[in-house]
């Protein structure tokens, strides 16, 4: 209803303004037309004066130079007279009739007096001079000029009347605009207050809550105080936030279970390899070495082949030990996080500077996550970043585990490609942490990890 009322007022004001502006435009057009009529009349009057001046000068002085302005005026008067009649005929019939009379008098003056006078002066100057001295020509010119003056005064009165009409229309337009604008402003302010209270504030509140949800806080809810569609929006938002919170909780719990199960399986496989397969291979290698030692010297070929087999067995044990370390680092379980990181640094093909401040005991899940993050980062620094140095800083306190890994490589790392960092990010997020990669081109790569923990 408020919108319809505002539209009605604005439409009425607009209609009145259009009418006032149309009248102003018409008055302005008429005023401009009066100016053109006055200009045309003044021009025609000057031509009549030029005509009279030229013929008089020629008759008195017999100088042909005076015939030049006379000839120009005589040739221009018909066109000027036609323009004046055309201009007056468009808007004012009385003025058009008067203009026709003036132009007929001017043409009569040319035909019946001016041209015969010039021809007489060319034949007998004395006769022409006598006609001028009689004053006939001056009387006719004065009569024509008097008609021009009356015509001009009438046109000026018309112009003044039209100007007054334009000013009155402008005043009405101003009054209509001010009144309509004032009424519209009052309604708009009232309507704006209603919209702010009933629509804008709830939407802004919901927008702020949506921003909190986008930043990860799924516990926020908006008061369901709105009406109609706004209330539906608030209820839908709360329902969405509750659903997202439940889904995130389930996802986090599921990822934690998966990571825990995976780590347990990796530990079991590493233990089985170390205590089972690896020990059996070591025992078999010792047995083969003893058999090789017992073979007589005359069987050199057999002894050589058996020695080679013992070497192959030793290489297999070494490779199996490396595979076992990749599945789950035994040193992490036996010695803790700091020695495990030191071991990674020693095995790295890129020089590594490790600094740790691990004053707090953390869970095994966090230690495993940190270990694999460092291992993956060192592999990337050597394989992809072409780094010459890596710096590792680990800070553990009662609240968080903070890990920083920085290299001086080529940079430009993209976490959206490859599964290494993505898998590590999943592991960290399952523990409630976050991973940030800073890798501008040609400026090295920095990996920042934060995992919340509880002091032990």
Query: pLDDT tens digits for 133-163?
Result: 677 777 878 888 888 888 778 877 877 777 7
Predicted confidence (pLDDT) at residue 391 exceeds the cutoff of 90: yes
Predicted confidence (pLDDT) at residue 268 exceeds the cutoff of 90: no
Confidence category of residue 406, pLDDT binned at 50, 70, 90: very high
The more confidently predicted of residues 398 and 258 is 398
Question: What strands lie across the sheet with 390-396, from one edge to the other?
Answer: 352-358, 390-396, 400-407, 445-452, 434-438
Confidence category of residue 311, pLDDT binned at 50, 70, 90: confident
Give the pLDDT of residue 278: 66
The more confidently predicted of residues 294 and 376 is 376
- Integer angstrom CA distances of residue 401 from 72, 342, 404, 443: 105, 17, 10, 26
Of 104-108, 323-327, 409-413, least confident by mean pLDDT is 323-327
For the entire predicted model, the pTM comes to: 0.43
Instruction: Tell me the pLDDT of the chain averaged across its residues.
Output: 78
Q: What is the mean pLDDT of residues 9-18?
A: 74
Give the number of other CB atoms < 10 A from CB of residue 447.
25
Query: pLDDT tens digits for 168-223?
Result: 777 777 787 777 778 778 877 777 777 777 677 777 777 787 778 777 777 878 78
Q: What is the mean pLDDT of residues 408-420?
A: 72
Confidence category of residue 449, pLDDT binned at 50, 70, 90: very high
Sequence-ordered strand ranges (E) for 230-379: 352-358
């Amino acid at each position: 209803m408020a919108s319809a009322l505002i539209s009605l007022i604005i439409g009425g004001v607009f209609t009145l303004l259009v009418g006032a502006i149309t009248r102003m435009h018409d008055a302005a057009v008429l005023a401009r037309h009066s100016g053109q009529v006055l200009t045309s009349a003044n021009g025609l009057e000057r031509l009549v004066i030029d005509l009279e001046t030229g013929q008089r000068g020629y008759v008195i002085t017999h100088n042909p130079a005076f015939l030049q302005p006379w000839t120009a005026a005589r040739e221009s008067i018909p066109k000027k007279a036609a323009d004046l009649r055309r201009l007056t005929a468009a808007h004012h019939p009385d003025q058009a009739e008067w203009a026709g009379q003036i132009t007929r008098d001017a043409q009569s003056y040319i035909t019946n007096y001016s041209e015969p006078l010039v021809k007489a002066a060319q034949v007998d100057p004395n006769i022409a001079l006598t006609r001028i001295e009689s004053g006939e020509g001056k009387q006719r010119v004065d009569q024509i000029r008097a008609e021009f003056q009356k015509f001009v005064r009438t046109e000026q009165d018309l112009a003044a009347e039209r100007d007054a009409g334009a000013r009155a229309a402008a005043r009405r337009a101003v009054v209509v605009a001010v009144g309509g604008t004032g009424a519209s402003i009052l309604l708009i302010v009232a309507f704006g207050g209603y919209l702010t209270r009933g629509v804008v504030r709830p939407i802004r509140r919901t927008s702020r809550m949506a921003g909190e949800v986008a930043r990860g806080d799924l516990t926020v809810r908006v008061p369901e105080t709105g009406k109609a569609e706004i209330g539906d929006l608030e209820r839908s938002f709360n329902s969405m936030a509750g659903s997202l919170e439940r889904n995130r909780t389930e996802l986090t719990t599921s990822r934690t279970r998966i990571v825990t199960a995976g780590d347990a399986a990796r530990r079991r496989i590493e233990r089985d390899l170390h205590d089972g397969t690896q020990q059996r291979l070591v025992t078999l290698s010792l047995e083969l070495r003893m058999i090789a030692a017992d073979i007589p010297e005359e069987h050199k070929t057999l002894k050589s082949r058996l020695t080679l087999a013992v070497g192959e067995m030793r290489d297999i044990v070494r490779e199996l030990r490396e595979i076992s370390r990749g599945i789950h680092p035994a040193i992490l379980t036996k010695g803790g996080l700091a020695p495990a990181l030191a071991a990674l640094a020693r095995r790295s093909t890129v020089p590594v500077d490790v600094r740790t401040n691990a004053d707090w005991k953390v869970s095994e899940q966090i230690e495993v996550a940190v270990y694999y993050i460092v291992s993956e980062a060192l592999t990337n620094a050597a394989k992809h970043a072409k780094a010459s140095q890596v710096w590792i800083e680990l800070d553990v306190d009662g609240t968080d585990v903070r890990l920083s890994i920085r290299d001086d490589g080529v940079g430009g790392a993209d976490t959206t490609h490859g599964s290494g960092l993505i898998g590590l990010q999943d592991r960290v997020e399952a523990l409630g942490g976050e991973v940030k990669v800073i890798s501008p081109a040609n400026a090295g790569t920095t990996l920042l990890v934060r995992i919340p923990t509880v002091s032990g």
